[in-house]
Amino acid sequence: MKNVACLRCNRAMEHAGESKLQLGEMGWFSGHWPNLLAGALEVDIYVCPECGKIEFFQPQEDEDRIAKRECPKCGEKHDWDYPKCPFCNYDYYSK
């Protein structure tokens, strides 16, 4: 389990369990997700008790297995589901 604070209210989020997502139903996931071919993605789910925001995380044991994307601007590595680099805000989709 992680200690996750809600970005909106800064409250500790509660672990709501792990679940498998069927990626076919997850249209908002970027097509660049490397596990796309696996068909299902295991996620850790955290819920904010204040505003109800739900956040998905990769289960921790998978973090080393999944390749990270290296930002061409600042060189930091981050997960593939960011449309922008979380470190320097480099936008992968604007040309």
Question: Shortest gap between Cβ of 2 and Zn ion (angstroms)?
Answer: 15
Q: How far apart are CA 72 and CA 5, in angstroms?
A: 28
Task: Report how far apart, in Å, the C-alpha atoms of 69 and of each of 2, 11, 26, 55, 88 are.
Answer: 22, 29, 21, 20, 14
Question: Shortest gap between Cβ of 24 and Zn ion (angstroms)?
Answer: 29
Question: Shortest gap between Cβ of 20 and Zn ion (angstroms)?
Answer: 25
Residues that bind Zn ion (CB under 5 A): 6, 8-9, 48, 50-51, 53, 71, 73-74, 85, 87-88, 90
Pick between residue 16 and residue 51 the one whose CB is nearest to Zn ion: 51
- Tell me which residue of 27, 35, 32, 26 sits closest to 63, measured CA to CA: 35
